[in-house]
Structure 1
Amino acid sequence: MIGMSWSLPNNYSFEDIEREVSEYWNKNGIRKKVLEKAWKEREGRPLFTFLEGPPTTNGFMHAGHARGRIYKDVMIRLHLLRGYRVWAQGGWDTQGLPVEIEVEKKFGVKSKREIEEKIGVSRFIEECKKSVDFYISEWIKDNERLAVWLDYENAYQTRHPRYLETVWSFLKKAHDHGLLYRDYRVVPRCPRCGTALSNHELSLGAEVVRDPSLYFKVKAKNNDFYFIAWTTTPWTIIANRALAVNPDAEYVLVEIKGEKYLIAEQLLDSILSKLNVSSVNKISKFKGKELVGMSYLHPLAEEVPANANCSPPNCTVVAAEYVTLTEGTGIVHTAPAHGPEDFETGSRYGLQVWTPLRDNGYFGEDAGAFAGLWFKDANKKVIEALAKKGLVLLSEEVEHEYPHCWRCGTPLIYYPSAQWFFKTTAIIEKMRNALNETTFRPNWGYSRMDSWVSSSRDWCISRERYWGTPLPIWRCEKCGYTQVFGSIEELEKASGRKLEDPHKPAIDEIVLKCPRCGGEMRREPFVADVWADSGVAHTAALRQLNLEGLHSLIYPYSFALEPPEQVRGWFYTLLITSTILHGRSPYRTLGMHGLILDSQGQKMSKSKGNVVMARDAMRRHGADQLRLFMCYRNSPWQDIRYVDKEITEIGGKLRIIYNVVKFLVSYAQLDKWNPNKLEEDLKFVTLVDRWILTKLNKVIKESVENAENFELHLASKALYDFLVEDLSHRYIVAVRRRVWIEEEAPEKRATYATLYTVLKRSLPLMAAFTPYHAEYLYQAIAKNLGFESKESVMMEEISELPEGVLDSRGESIIENAFKAVDAILAYRASKGMRRRMPIKRVSLLLEQQLTDGEKREVAELISGMANVTSVDIVGEPPKGYVSEISIEGGSKVFIIEESDEETLLLGYAKELIRRIQLMRKEARLNYDDFIEVELSTPSETLKKAIEHHKGYIMSETRASVLKEGRVDSGKEFEIDEEKVRIQIKKV
Structure 2
Amino acid sequence: MLVRRESYTHSYPHCWRCRQPLIYKGVSSWFVSTTKIRDRMLELNQEITWVPEHVKDGQFGRWLENTRDWSISRNRFWGSPIPVWKSDDPAYPRVDVYGSFAELERDFGVEVTDLHRPFVDELTRPNPDDPTGKSTMRRVTDVLDCWFESGSMSFAQVHYPFENAEWFEHHFPGDFIVEYIGQTRGWFYTMHVMASALFDRPAFRTCISHGIVLGNDGQKMSKSLRNYPDVREVFDRDGADAMRWFLMSSPILRGGNLVVTEQGIREGVRQALLPLWSTWYFFTLYANAANEGAGYDAKWSTASTHVLDRYLLAKLRELVEGVTAALDVDDIAGACDQIRGFLDVLTNWYVRRSRDRFWDTAGADTEEATHAFDTLYTTLEVLCRVAAPLLPLTTEEVWRGLTGGRSVHLTDWPVADDLPADHELVVAMDRARDICSVTSSLRKAGGLRTRLPLAELIVVTEGADTLTPFTGIIADEVNVKRVDVVELSGADSAEFGVEQRLTVNARAAGPRLGKQVQTVIKGSKTGDWSVDGEVVTCAGIELAEGEYSLETVVADSGRAETHATAVLPGGGFVVLDTEVTPELAAEGLARDIVRAVQQARRDAGLEVSDRISLTVLGGTEVWEATVAHQALIVTETLATQFGSAADLDALPGRGVEATVGDGTPVRIILEKL
Q: Same fold (TM over 0.5)?
A: yes
Structural mapping, 1:429-508, within 5 Å: 429-446=39-56, 447-478=58-89, 479-508=92-121
Provide closer, same or farther for how the CA distance between residues 958 and 534 of structure 1 changes in structure 2, counting only shifts above 3 A: farther
Provide closer, same or farther for how the CA distance between residues 577 and 871 of structure 1 changes in structure 2, counting only shifts above 3 A: closer
Give me the whole-angstrom Cα distance separating, in 1, the residues matched to 2:396 and 2:300: 22
Question: Partner letter of residue 656 of structure 2?
Answer: K
Deviations 1:457-503 (A, max 9, x none): 33332223233212222223343322111111222233332223322
Structural mapping, 1:410-809, within 5 Å: 410-446=20-56, 447-478=58-89, 479-517=92-130, 518=133, 519-543=135-159, 546-605=163-222, 610-612=227-229, 614-636=231-253, 637-653=255-271, 654-672=273-291, 677-679=299-301, 682-723=302-343, 725-741=344-360, 742-783=363-404, 789=405, 791-802=406-417, 805-809=420-424
Give me the whole-angstrom Cα distance separating, in 1, the residues matched to 2:491 and 2:652: 50
Provide closer, same or farther for how the CA distance between residues 958 and 554 of structure 1 changes in structure 2, counting only shifts above 3 A: farther
Give me the whole-angstrom Cα distance separating, in 1, the residues matched to 2:20 and 2:65: 29
Q: Secondary structure at the match of 2:219?
A: coil
From 435, 442, 448, the counterpart of 1:833: 448
Give me the whole-angstrom Cα distance separating, in 2, the residues matched to 1:979 and 1:389: 86
Structural mapping, 1:111-190, within 5 Å: none
Question: Partner letter of residue 776 of structure 1?
Answer: E
Deviations 1:92-149 (A, max 9, x none): xxxxxxxxxxxxxxxxxxxxxxxxxxxxxxxxxxxxxxxxxxxxxxxxxxxxxxxxxx
Deviation at 1:705, TM superposition (A): 3.0
From 639, 659, 669, the counterpart of 1:974: 659
Give me the whole-angstrom Cα distance separating, in 1, the residues matched to 2:191 and 2:392: 31
From 579, 583, 588, the counterpart of 1:907: 588
Deviation at 1:582, TM superposition (A): 0.9
Deviations 1:27-80 (A, max 9, x none): xxxxxxxxxxxxxxxxxxxxxxxxxxxxxxxxxxxxxxxxxxxxxxxxxxxxxx
Deviation at 1:579, TM superposition (A): 2.1
Q: Secondary structure at the match of 2:211?
A: coil
Give me the whole-angstrom Cα distance separating, in 1, the residues matched to 2:605 and 2:241: 25
When structure 1 is superposed on structure 2, of 421-430 and 528-537 the one drifting more is 421-430
Could you list the runs of 5+ residues in structure 1 that have no partner in the other structure?
1-386, 784-788
Contact 2:386–2:414 (Cα < 8 Å) also in 1: no
Contact 1:687–1:814 (Cα < 8 Å) also in 2: no
Deviation at 1:870, TM superposition (A): 3.9
Question: Partner letter of residue 463 of structure 1?
Answer: R
Q: Secondary structure at the match of 1:907?
A: helix
Deviation at 1:979, TM superposition (A): 2.0
Provide closer, same or farther for how the CA distance between residues 831 and 527 of structure 1 changes in structure 2, counting only shifts above 3 A: closer
Provide closer, same or farther for how the CA distance between residues 425 and 684 of structure 1 changes in structure 2, counting only shifts above 3 A: closer
- TM-score of the aligned structures, taking structure 1 as reference length: 0.55
CA RMSD of aligned residues (A): 3.3
Which of these two proteins has the greater Rg computed from alpha carbons? 1
Give me the whole-angstrom Cα distance separating, in 2, the residues matched to 1:684 and 1:974: 41
Provide closer, same or farther for how the CA distance between residues 763 and 930 of structure 1 changes in structure 2, counting only shifts above 3 A: same
Q: Secondary structure at the match of 2:205?
A: strand
Provide closer, same or farther for how the CA distance between residues 953 and 496 of structure 1 changes in structure 2, counting only shifts above 3 A: farther
Contact 1:935–1:980 (Cα < 8 Å) also in 2: no
Deviation at 1:616, TM superposition (A): 4.6
Deviations 1:772-807 (A, max 9, x none): 111111112113xxxxx3x21112233343377222
Contact 2:212–2:257 (Cα < 8 Å) also in 1: yes
Give me the whole-angstrom Cα distance separating, in 2, the residues matched to 1:896 and 1:541: 70
Structural mapping, 1:253-264, within 5 Å: none
Give me the whole-angstrom Cα distance separating, in 2, the residues matched to 1:961 and 1:508: 95
- TM-score of the aligned structures, taking structure 2 as reference length: 0.78
Contact 1:597–1:641 (Cα < 8 Å) also in 2: yes
Give me the whole-angstrom Cα distance separating, in 2, the residues matched to 1:836 and 1:551: 66
Provide closer, same or farther for how the CA distance between residues 945 and 389 of structure 1 changes in structure 2, counting only shifts above 3 A: closer
When structure 1 is superposed on structure 2, of 960-969 and 617-626 the one drifting more is 960-969
Provide closer, same or farther for how the CA distance between residues 644 and 892 of structure 1 changes in structure 2, counting only shifts above 3 A: closer
Structural mapping, 1:887-902, within 5 Å: 887-888=568-569, 893=574, 895=576, 898-902=579-583
Deviations 1:838-895 (A, max 9, x none): 11344556644659xx85x523312321112344567887999964856456666555
Q: Secondary structure at the match of 2:666?
A: strand
Give me the whole-angstrom Cα distance separating, in 2, the residues matched to 1:572 and 1:897: 64
From 840, 843, 862, the counterpart of 2:474: 862
User: Number of paired residues?
Assistant: 584
Q: Secondary structure at the match of 1:591?
A: strand
Contact 1:847–1:889 (Cα < 8 Å) also in 2: no
Deviations 1:395-440 (A, max 9, x none): 774655x554455444443434444332333332332233232232
Provide closer, same or farther for how the CA distance between residues 443 and 738 of structure 1 changes in structure 2, counting only shifts above 3 A: same
Deviation at 1:720, TM superposition (A): 1.4
Question: Partner letter of residue 644 of structure 2?
Answer: E
Provide closer, same or farther for how the CA distance between residues 892 and 414 of structure 1 changes in structure 2, counting only shifts above 3 A: closer
Give me the whole-angstrom Cα distance separating, in 1, the residues matched to 2:299 and 2:399: 19
Give me the whole-angstrom Cα distance separating, in 1, the residues matched to 2:299 and 2:64: 61
Question: Partner letter of residue 423 of structure 1?
Answer: S
Contact 1:931–1:984 (Cα < 8 Å) also in 2: no
- Whether 1:932 and 2:617 are equivalent positions in the alignment is no
Q: Secondary structure at the match of 2:138?
A: strand
Give me the whole-angstrom Cα distance separating, in 2, the residues matched to 1:776 and 1:761: 14
Partner of 2:431: 816
Provide closer, same or farther for how the CA distance between residues 469 and 635 of structure 1 changes in structure 2, counting only shifts above 3 A: closer
Give me the whole-angstrom Cα distance separating, in 2, the residues matched to 1:498 and 1:692: 70
Question: Partner letter of residue 663 of structure 1?
Answer: F
Question: Partner letter of residue 667 of structure 2?
Answer: R
Q: Secondary structure at the match of 2:25?
A: strand
Deviation at 1:736, TM superposition (A): 0.6
Deviation at 1:604, TM superposition (A): 3.5
Give me the whole-angstrom Cα distance separating, in 2, the residues matched to 1:627 and 1:489: 46
Q: Secondary structure at the match of 2:50?
A: strand
Q: Secondary structure at the match of 1:542?
A: coil
Contact 1:740–1:955 (Cα < 8 Å) also in 2: no
Give me the whole-angstrom Cα distance separating, in 2, the residues matched to 1:419 and 1:889: 63
Give me the whole-angstrom Cα distance separating, in 2, the residues matched to 1:969 and 1:874: 52
Deviation at 1:678, TM superposition (A): 3.8
Structural mapping, 1:84-95, within 5 Å: none
Give me the whole-angstrom Cα distance separating, in 1, the residues matched to 2:627 and 2:583: 12
Q: Secondary structure at the match of 2:129?
A: coil
Give me the whole-angstrom Cα distance separating, in 2, the residues matched to 1:823 and 1:611: 38
Question: Partner letter of residue 665 of structure 1?
Answer: T
Q: Secondary structure at the match of 1:914?
A: helix
